[in-house]
Amino acid sequence: HIYYMTVSGHMYYSFSGNSMSSRNKDAVKHLDMSENARAYYACHIELDKALQYLIEQLEKEIVGCKLNGHRTKRLPGNVNMSLSGMEGETVLIRLDMQGICASTGSACTSGSLEPSHVLLAMGLDTSTAKSSIRFSLSEENTYDEADVLVTCLKEIVVSLRETLDLG
């Protein structure tokens, strides 16, 4: 287990300089942190709130949309969702046509048509892993943009399901 970790901020879409992170929120209060580290920590709290909002909206609005992985123990800004009965690549193309950037599978297999070995190791079956879409958010994304994503993805999924039912 990692209890404390220091990183260079510029490597993780943060402020330049170094920051420290801790598994124990109370311990962070006792550290002599720079302003950059405090700002980094505060930024990721806001990012986590936006990410949780996106996850909740996706699950609420899209039938068969399910979070892959733990609800809170995840990379900041990273969300991977499976869409029951969908092919991730088809959804990805439709999202791209709407100007929305996303990926299929996990970050480790970006660009591959094979199901992610990470998602399979997490216990997902091949079909579910292939139906997965990964979104990455930053502190620059807004709740309005999350709403646009949810609306577009819902329209895409409904349209594809109607098409599949006709065939």
Instruction: Give catalytic residues, as residue numbers.
Output: 108
- Give the Cα separation of 100 and 110 in Å (integer): 16
Amino acid type, 78: N
Are residues 81 and 132 in contact, defined by beta-carbon separation less than 8 angstroms? Answer: yes
Q: Which residues are within 8 A (CB) of 111 and not within 5 positions of it... i.e. 6 or more apart?
A: none
If you write DSSP's letter for every residue of 76-105 in order, what string do you get? TTEEEEEETT--HHHHHHHHHHTT---EES
Q: Which two tokens stand for residue 148?
A: 């646009």
